[in-house]
Structure 1
Amino acid sequence: MSHNHHNHHSHNHADFKGRNLLISIFLNILITVSQVIGGIISGSLALLSDALHNFSDVLSLVVSYVANKLTKKQASFHRTFGFKRAEILAAFINASTLIIVAILLIIEAIKRFQNPEVIKSGLVIWMSVLGIVANGLSVLILKKDSNSNMNMRSAYLHLLTDMMASVAVLVGGLLMKFYQIYWIDSALTFAIALYLIYMGYDLLISSTKVLMLFTPDHIPLKKIVDEINAFEKIKNVHHVHVWQLNEDELHLEAHIDFNEDISISQFDEILKDIEELVFHKYDINHVNIQPEFSKPDAKDIIVQD
């Protein structure tokens, strides 16, 4: 038995998110093509690394866009949850690509440190300005939704880190132009890569926990069990699972052993009280309880299935 708390704005909001992602995709394709051409002509590894990161942005935004569309598909006999996990999977993929790109950049930066090259700094400066403007616009477009949706946050982080990378490339271009400090190109590439790892790690861990059905960090499971155990007629709460399906749905399932052989109508009343408790205190909006009376099964809170 469960509560469903989606309002009538949800589909319109999903369409709005999809449109914002589409705009960001086209902006990043423009940046990527421009920076690849500029990086090849100027010989700047930092600019090429920024282009590579922008290309990963395009892929991540496409993944986020597809996931956003999939979540609107209806559940079926073959997919009883529909595609509600699509955005979590997209967040995991995007966080992984952030870290993979960062490792590739570190390898290239080390190679360039060993073999520094003269770089056409003027082109680097103009390309980095383009990156700052376009990525800055994309960041503003996605910022609002990034606070409440893991998929949108993964796309937002890709774009935010790329904007920061473009700022770093701009600083490097200015230093090369006026002070001929060409090793700064490799140093900035290395710094960009470390920043990508730092930003991607938390999102990778968060999305992995959801995909692995771990108990959400903010859920005090033992406290919830104690509160349910305090209900009259309840003898024991055991075999408990709490997991997050997606950004909107938090599930609780448990076996409850009753002190007496109650009727179904009595159980329904108790179930309603449990649902109200866990929803209002812990935002758990899907509850599935298996009632029992003197059933000879394991009574531990956590039971290995």
Structure 2
Amino acid sequence: MSHSHGHNHSHHHHGDLKGRNLFISILLNIIITVAQVIGGIISGSLSLLSDALHNFSDVLSLIISYVANRLAKQKASNQKTFGYKRAEILAAFVNAATLMVVAVLLIVEAAERFQNPQEIESNLVIWLSFVAILGNGFSVLLLKKDAEANMNMKSAYIHLLTDMMASVAVLIGGLLMKYYQLYWVDSVLTFAIALYLVWMGWDLLKNSTKVLMLFTPDSIPIQRIVDEINSFESVKNTHHVHVWQLNEDEIHLEAHIDFHEDITLSKFDKILKNIEELVFDKYDINHVNIQPEFGKDDAKEVIVQD
């Protein structure tokens, strides 16, 4: 068995920044939650208290993301040969699932509020939702860059973004109630946010599930890779192929390769090096594990169910 690492560890210093940004977001959201609970109790506003609940769910999802981000940096050991490299994918899955729950709760809430609109009587609601918008808005900006390349950060980012939108809905609703006595706007906006949440959350849930289930990444055409390896002159056939994504940075390929002749190990190493370069340059596969065979009697299908 040969195992190769085409590692690119260019993002370690960046990971610390991710953790720091998450930590700042957690603190901001705790402050917003406490402010909204106090404000909700003083003003008797249910919408503020429900907003505080959303913010609290943000705090929990951010803590999950933060812990996963810290765990992912831990070293591998005999008991954990991959370390905690999947912690962030797991966190993304959990957060995406809670996004769906939050969306359902928002839809229920919007329907109830539409049937009996609550009058928001105080300016406190308007001011506190403004504070929440600023706090969440700042958190969203902090996490935006990392959210593009990392499922865990994206799950935290979507929680914050939808929360910011919910606060905007409360603010608009509060202003329209105060000046125009329009009481239905709030519930319509809440419903729209819930639909957006389902749309974003579903995508994240699907992608994190694919990784956890060891499905082949969408960008990897297994048959084409097999054909390319088979075109090497000494290769007879490539079979028993597995391609999976360990986390966002690592894609693994393992396969059995049958050779035309009983080649030496040094010759195999040369061929292996060419295979590694081919799959890394073309398909970003950075872990290759090849089992060389000659005249071995085993199943020769490309995909073999173990």
TM-score (norm 1): 0.95
Distance 1:172 1:121, change over 3 A: farther
The answer to whether residue 166 in structure 2 is matched with residue 165 in structure 1 is yes
Aligned pairs for 1:57-68 within 5 A:
57-68=58-69
Gaps of 5+ in 1: none
Gaps of 5+ in 2: none
CA deviation profile, 1:217-260 (whole Å, cap 9, x unmatched): 11111111111110111111111111110111110001111111
Indicate the residue corresponding to 1:25 in structure 2: 26
The answer to whether residue 185 in structure 2 is matched with residue 184 in structure 1 is yes
Indicate the residue corresponding to 2:8 in structure 1: 6
The one-letter code matched in structure 2 to 1:144 is K
3-state SS of paired residue (1:284):
coil
Query: What is the CA–CA distance in structure 1 between the aligned matches of 2:125 and 2:181, rounded to whole Å?
Result: 13
Contact 1:46 1:185 in 2 (8 A): no
CA deviation profile, 1:26-56 (whole Å, cap 9, x unmatched): 0011111222333344454443333222111
3-state SS of paired residue (1:304):
coil
Contact 2:169 2:186 in 1 (8 A): no
CA deviation profile, 1:134-188 (whole Å, cap 9, x unmatched): 1111111111211221111111111122122222221111111111122323222
Indicate the residue corresponding to 1:133 in structure 2: 134
TM-score (norm 2): 0.94
Contact 2:236 2:258 in 1 (8 A): yes
The one-letter code matched in structure 1 to 2:5 is H
3-state SS of paired residue (1:288):
strand
Q: Tell me the CA shift for residue 87 of structure 1.
A: 0.5
Query: What is the CA–CA distance in structure 1 between the aligned matches of 2:4 and 2:45, rounded to whole Å?
Result: 57
Query: What is the CA–CA distance in structure 2 between the aligned matches of 1:75 and 1:290, rounded to whole Å?
Result: 24
3-state SS of paired residue (1:80):
coil
Contact 2:93 2:209 in 1 (8 A): yes
Aligned pairs for 1:65-144 within 5 A:
65-144=66-145
The answer to whether residue 281 in structure 2 is matched with residue 280 in structure 1 is yes
Query: What is the CA–CA distance in structure 2 between the aligned matches of 1:68 and 1:131, rounded to whole Å?
Result: 25
Query: What is the CA–CA distance in structure 1 between the aligned matches of 2:131 and 2:44, rounded to whole Å?
Result: 18
The one-letter code matched in structure 1 to 2:167 is S
Query: What is the CA–CA distance in structure 2 between the aligned matches of 1:62 and 1:275, rounded to whole Å?
Result: 38
Q: Tell me the CA shift for residue 111 of structure 1.
A: 2.6
Contact 1:243 1:250 in 2 (8 A): yes
Deviation larger for 67-76 or 46-55: 46-55
Identity %: 74
Contact 2:6 2:280 in 1 (8 A): no
CA deviation profile, 1:240-295 (whole Å, cap 9, x unmatched): 11111011111000111111111111111111100000001111000001111122
3-state SS of paired residue (1:65):
helix
Contact 2:93 2:204 in 1 (8 A): yes
Deviation larger for 117-126 or 168-177: 117-126
Indicate the residue corresponding to 2:222 in structure 1: 221
3-state SS of paired residue (1:237):
strand
Indicate the residue corresponding to 1:290 in structure 2: 291
Q: Tell me the CA shift for residue 189 of structure 1.
A: 2.4
Q: How many residues align?
A: 304
Indicate the residue corresponding to 1:209 in structure 2: 210
CA deviation profile, 1:172-210 (whole Å, cap 9, x unmatched): 111111111223232222222222112211111111100
Contact 2:172 2:186 in 1 (8 A): no
Indicate the residue corresponding to 2:242 in structure 1: 241
Q: CA-atom RMSD, angstroms?
A: 1.6
3-state SS of paired residue (1:2):
strand
Aligned pairs for 1:243-262 within 5 A:
243-262=244-263
The one-letter code matched in structure 2 to 1:5 is H
